[in-house]
Amino acid sequence: MEHVVGPQRAIETVCIGPEDDMDQRRQDIINAVDGANEGDGVIILTDMFGGTPSNLAISVMSSGSVEVIAGVNLPMLIKLAGVRGESDMDKALVEASEAGRKYINVASRVLSGK
């Protein structure tokens, strides 16, 4: 992502494998949220709603300060990097979700104009 939008501050990652201790991974998510929180809230991005990473992230959500977006893609990441510090968390959530949806395309349909 850095080669597209440049270095970003306050970003944390947590890798979750199928054999991991899920209580430990949940604690890792809590620690990552604490590390990324600059006072304006934290958005956790996961691959798929209902999967283990998403479920663990949802378990640490708190109203107004931690939110989860499932189904992350590169346009969503680029949008979040662009609106960071300019938008409140609710607006950033909407803009990221819209950007993520906008760039999901079937190439043959786009190229044929359908």
Domain spans of the chain, in order of start? 2-112
Handedness of CA 43, 45, 51, 53 (dihedral sign): negative
pLDDT over 80 (residue 89): yes
Decide which of 1.10.110.30, 3.40.50.1220, 3.40.50.510, 3.90.190.20 is the CATH code for 2-112: 3.40.50.510
Q: Are 36 and 42 in contact (CB under 8 A)?
A: yes
**52 vs 20, 71, 75, 81, 105, CA distance in Å?**
11, 13, 23, 25, 26
Over the stretch 74-86, which tens digit does the pLDDT of each residue have? 999 999 999 988 8
Strands (E), 1-114: 42-46, 66-70
CA distances from 64 to 43, 69, 76 (A): 10, 14, 20
**Has this prediction a pTM greater than 0.85?**
yes
Average pLDDT of every residue of the chain: 93
Residue 81: name the closest of 43, 29, 34 by CA. Answer: 43
Residues in the chain: 114
pLDDT digit string (tens) for 10-19?
Answer: 999 999 999 9
Q: Using CA atoms of 22, 96, 38, 90 in order, give the dihedral in degrees to the nearest 10.
A: -100
